[in-house]
């Protein structure tokens, strides 16, 4: 690390979904506590990263680039040209900023930035959230100095282990005021027997239906907070209206949960039924919330199943294939786990071991260590 009083310039790149942006922001907030660090963020002009960067006083530089697809498409031709344009834009921005290091949280927007950094001799640190390397990271890793891994290094290919360091997945710590917390408690009628159902950022029609098939049973045992996705909220309201008045008070379907709501609800819930994105698993681990995991069957590189198997192996969850579940089977599984206090307690302890609590600090330290003296 630099020992003089010059500012350490760090560029963050990555984005698209919150799964890329939120962990990057967690690292950025740690770096912002360093008095000598100056942060910039390169991303898509219409992306979530643009909003997040500006809301957190980070200089944002937009680029336009093409997507990296796993399948044949006529759009690949135009996207190759867009990616070349993205490289040229990234080169101009990096030459202007002159960063000491680039930190990439993946997403297709990171590809031209990392490639440009390599051309300019700027060290690159990459973070991989899933237990299976994503396509963009597989393509970019040979340009990186370090790979920060969301899961233990032994689960990654041997060819990347020489640059890999196990950090875990960064998570933001949300300091929720008592006033805001009280409003969330009231809105969702939060109790000790709250069951949280998460279908991923867009909701899961399959998981939703499994819950709705036995909704009367769930509200007889739990206070249910159900994130259904924007496309499914109308159906969820119709299902809620089938319940009697008292039961409706115990079923809370919502299109989307904010990070603040999620933090409060996870901290109060007894058990979760959830998809298995790396961000969700990180949250479950942080809040010590046992889970029944149902991976998305069509996830890229089958990473959802791999994530789920790892958490189950650690003891913090039970993993089921979506195709093996019926509404009755899922309900009975949820009920049996929830009624076994000893099992719940052990699962809570075990899921807390899935992700290191200071992952953001570890990633920030690795980034700073790549700054040339």
CA distances from 327 to 143, 231, 246 (A): 47, 21, 22
Are both 156 and 240 inside the same structural domain?
Answer: no
51 domain residue, yes or no: yes
Domain check: are 198 and 328 in the same one?
yes
The answer to the question of residue 279 being in a domain is yes
Can you give the pTM of this predicted structure? 0.91
User: Does a structural domain hold residue 2?
Assistant: no
Whether 123 and 96 share a structural domain:
yes
Q: How confident is the model at residue 190 (pLDDT cuts 50, 70, 90)?
A: very high
Please list the alpha-helical segments (H only) found in the chain.
Answer: 18-32, 48-55, 75-97, 110-119, 135-140, 178-188, 205-213, 215-221, 233-241, 245-248, 259-268, 278-286, 303-314, 327-339, 341-351, 359-369
Residue 101 has pLDDT above 90, yes or no: yes
Q: Please give the Cα distance from 195 to 191 (Å, whole number).
A: 9
Closest CA to 257 of 293, 297, 235, 225: 225
In-domain check, residue 1 = no
Write down the pLDDT at residue 332.
98
75 within domain boundaries: yes
Q: Is 195 helix (H, G, I), strand (E, B) or coil?
A: strand
CATH at residue 101? 3.40.50.2000
Is pLDDT above 60 for 118? yes
Same domain, 245 and 303: yes
Digit-coded pLDDT (tens) for 316-360: 999 999 999 999 999 999 999 999 999 999 999 999 999 999 999
**Is the distance from CB of 14 to CB of 2 less than 8 angstroms?**
no
What domain range is 118 assigned to? 8-171+357-369
| Eight-class DSSP state of 193 | T
Domain for residue 15, yes or no? yes
Q: Does one domain contain both 21 and 124?
A: yes
User: Model confidence over 280-312: pLDDT tens digits?
Assistant: 999 999 999 999 999 999 888 889 999 999 999
Q: Tell me, what's the pLDDT at 4?
A: 47
Answer whether residue 67 shows pLDDT above 90. Answer: no
Q: In this structure, are 210 and 242 located in the same domain?
A: yes
3-state SS class at 30: helix
The reply to whether 23 and 150 lie within a common domain is yes
For residues 103 and 223, membership in a common domain is answered with no
- Statement to judge: residues 143 and 219 lie in one domain: no
Domain shared by 310 and 362, yes or no: no
Residue 3 lies in a domain: no
Domain count, the chain: 2
* Residue 124 CA: distances (Å) to CA of 2, 12, 117, 144, 181: 16, 10, 7, 5, 39
Residues 230, 215, single domain; the answer is: yes
Same domain, 273 and 163: no
* Per-residue confidence (pLDDT) for residue 65, from 0 to 100: 79
- Does any domain span residue 147? yes
């Amino acid at each position: 690390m630099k020992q003089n009083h010059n500012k350490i310039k760090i560029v963050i790149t990555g984005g698209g979904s919150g799964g890329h942006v939120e962990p990057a922001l967690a690292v950025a907030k740690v770096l912002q506590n360093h008095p000598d660090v100056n942060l910039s963020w390169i991303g898509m002009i219409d992306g979530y990263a643009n909003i997040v960067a500006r809301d957190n006083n980070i200089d944002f530089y937009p680029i336009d680039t093409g997507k990296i697809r796993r399948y044949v498409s006529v759009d690949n031709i135009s996207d190759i040209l867009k990616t070349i344009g993205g490289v040229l834009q990234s080169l101009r921005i990096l030459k202007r900023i002159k960063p000491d290091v680039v930190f990439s949280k993946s997403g297709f927007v990171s590809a031209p930035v990392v490639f440009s950094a390599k051309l300019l001799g700027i060290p690159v640190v990459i973070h991989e959230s899933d237990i299976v390397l994503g396509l963009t990271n597989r393509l970019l890793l040979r340009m990186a100095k370090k790979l920060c891994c969301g899961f233990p290094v032994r689960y990654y290919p041997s060819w990347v282990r020489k640059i890999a360091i196990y950090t875990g997945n960064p998570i933001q710590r949300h300091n929720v005021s008592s006033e805001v917390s009280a409003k969330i408690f009231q809105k969702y009628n939060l109790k000790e027997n709250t069951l949280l159902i998460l279908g991923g950022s867009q909701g899961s029609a399959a998981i939703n239906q499994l819950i709705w098939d036995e909704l009367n049973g769930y509200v007889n045992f739990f206070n249910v907070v159900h994130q259904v996705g924007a496309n499914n909220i109308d159906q969820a309201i119709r299902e809620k209206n089938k319940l009697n008045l008292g039961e409706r008070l115990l079923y809370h379907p919502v299109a989307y949960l904010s990070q603040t709501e999620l933090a409060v609800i996870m901290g109060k819930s007894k058990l979760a039924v959830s998809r298995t994105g790396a961000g969700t698993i990180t949250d479950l681990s942080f809040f010590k919330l046992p889970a029944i995991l149902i991976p998305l069957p069509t996830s890229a590189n089958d990473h959802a199943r791999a994530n789920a198997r790892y958490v189950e192996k650690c003891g913090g969850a039970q993993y089921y294939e979506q195709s093996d579940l019926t509404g009755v089977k899922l309900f009975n599984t949820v009920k049996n786990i929830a009624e076994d206090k000893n099992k719940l307690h052990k699962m809570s302890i075990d899921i807390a071991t899935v992700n290191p609590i200071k992952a953001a600090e570890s990633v920030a330290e690795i980034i700073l260590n790549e700054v040339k003296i």
